Amino acid sequence: MIPFLHLGPLTIPTYGLMVATGMLVAYFVLRADLARRGISPKDSGDAESLIAWPCLAGIVASKIYSALESPSELFADPKGVLLSQMGFTWIGGMLGGAAVFAWIAWRILKRSKASGATFLTFMDMGATAAAIGYGFGRMGCLLSGDGDYGTPTSLPWGMSFPNGLVPTTDRVHPTPIYEFIGACFIAWILWKMGSSFAVANTKSRSASASPRYAPGQIFAAYLVLTGVARFFVEFIRLNPRVLWGLTNAQLASLASIVVGAVLWFRLQSRHSRAVPA
């Protein structure tokens, strides 16, 4: 693995490089979604605001959440823990990023003239961008060998990380690759779901032009699908079990699945009553 790229006097961490790549890909996805729904043109700058600030907030929240999971280590060396290039959590990043994304979306909605755009519309678009961005971030974990790999395996695609930030010579599950593939698949599903809103936006406001899904259902699907993906991959990860034989990430994943499922069915029920058969 290659934790750092050395270009003359410059030392570039590969994890940070892939996080930046994920932000860039998420930006293009979100910009295209805003445009196809008729909310913001591609040159508006809204996509930049909706990606840059939430991503920065997500990185900070991810680090803080990870540090609070091991309070004894945090109190023993707070500077070392908080400034370390390791120790980032999915749930912390999602909470911090979602909070800032929601605030910026609310500000854009206040001045938006797009017909039918709601706060849930922005959460739908953010979910698609977040799914693909997360996948690229996981590839940063793979390149840096930061310990996010899985348990030992004899499968032919098992990998070792002798030069990683957290080295191991055992052949282990390359869980970041699993998560990257899963993230790309989830992002594709969410993008296809969003196409019904784009089609409805280009047609007359008749019953036949109504979107197939209610605003917010794509976000609900994101909560369920990412929760399921993370829950199962944790069975071959090295994270400690904290409750009922489950890891912190699995408990958070279960909460995500439950919230997403409840939101989905509530929105579906409301949408079914509003749209004629």
Q: Are 73 and 81 in contact (CB under 8 A)?
A: yes
Strand partners, 209: none
pLDDT confidence of residue 207: 46
105 or 76: which carries more pLDDT confidence? 105
Is the pLDDT score of 204 beyond 60? Answer: no
Is the pLDDT score of 244 beyond 80? Answer: yes
Rg over alpha carbons for the chain, rounded to the nearest Å, is 20
Is the pLDDT score of 22 beyond 70? Answer: yes
Give percent above pLDDT 70 in the chain: 82
90 or 100: which carries more pLDDT confidence? 100
Q: What is the DSSP letter of 209?
A: G
Is the pLDDT score of 15 beyond 80? Answer: yes
Over the stretch 224-240, which tens digit does the pLDDT of each residue have?
Answer: 999 999 999 999 888 77
Task: Using pLDDT thresholds of 50, 70 and 90, give the confidence band for residue 205.
Answer: very low
pLDDT confidence of residue 232: 92
Is this model's pTM higher than 0.85 or not? no
Give percent above pLDDT 90 in the chain: 25
Cα 107 to chain centroid distance, Å, stands at 22
| Average pLDDT score, the chain | 82
Mean pLDDT of the region 243-268 = 90
**Distance separating alpha carbons of residues 241 and 85, to the nearest angstrom:** 23
Which of helix, strand or coil describes residue 258? helix
Tokens in use for 124?
């739908």
Q: Are 155 and 133 in contact (CB under 8 A)?
A: no
Task: Using pLDDT thresholds of 50, 70 and 90, give the confidence band for residue 254.
Answer: very high
Length of the chain: 277
Domain boundaries, the chain: 12-271
Residue-wise DSSP of 14-27: HHHHHHHHHHHHHH
pLDDT confidence of residue 47: 86
Strand partners, 237: 150
Cα 174 to chain centroid distance, Å, stands at 19
Angstrom CA distances, 3 to 37, 42, 126, 127, 237, stand at 40, 35, 29, 29, 20
Interior angle at CA 59, CA 2 and CA 96, nearest 5: 155
pLDDT confidence of residue 108: 80
Which of helix, strand or coil describes residue 1? coil
pLDDT confidence of residue 5: 78
Task: Using pLDDT thresholds of 50, 70 and 90, give the confidence band for residue 83.
Answer: low
Tokens in use for 144?
């840096």
Over the stretch 150-199, which tens digit does the pLDDT of each residue have?
Answer: 889 999 988 988 888 888 888 999 999 999 999 999 999 999 998 877 66
Interior angle at CA 92, CA 86 and CA 95, nearest 5: 150
**Amino acid identity for residue 119 in this structure:** F
Over the stretch 45-74, which tens digit does the pLDDT of each residue have?
Answer: 888 888 888 878 877 877 777 767 666 665
CA proximity to 251, closest of 268, 239, 266: 239
Residue-wise DSSP of 27-49: HHHHHHHHHHTTSS-TTSSHHHH
**Distance separating alpha carbons of residues 125 and 30, to the nearest angstrom:** 6
CA proximity to 118, closest of 270, 228, 252: 270
Is the pLDDT score of 273 beyond 80? Answer: no
pLDDT confidence of residue 185: 96
H helix and E strand count, the chain: 9, 6
Strand partners, 159: 172
Residue-wise DSSP of 197-247: HHHHHTS-SSGGGS-SS-TTHHHHHHHHHHHHHHHHHGGGB-PPEEETTEE
Mean pLDDT of the region 116-127 = 85
CA proximity to 184, closest of 33, 62, 16, 29: 29
Is the pLDDT score of 215 beyond 90? Answer: no
**Distance separating alpha carbons of residues 261 and 245, to the nearest angstrom:** 23
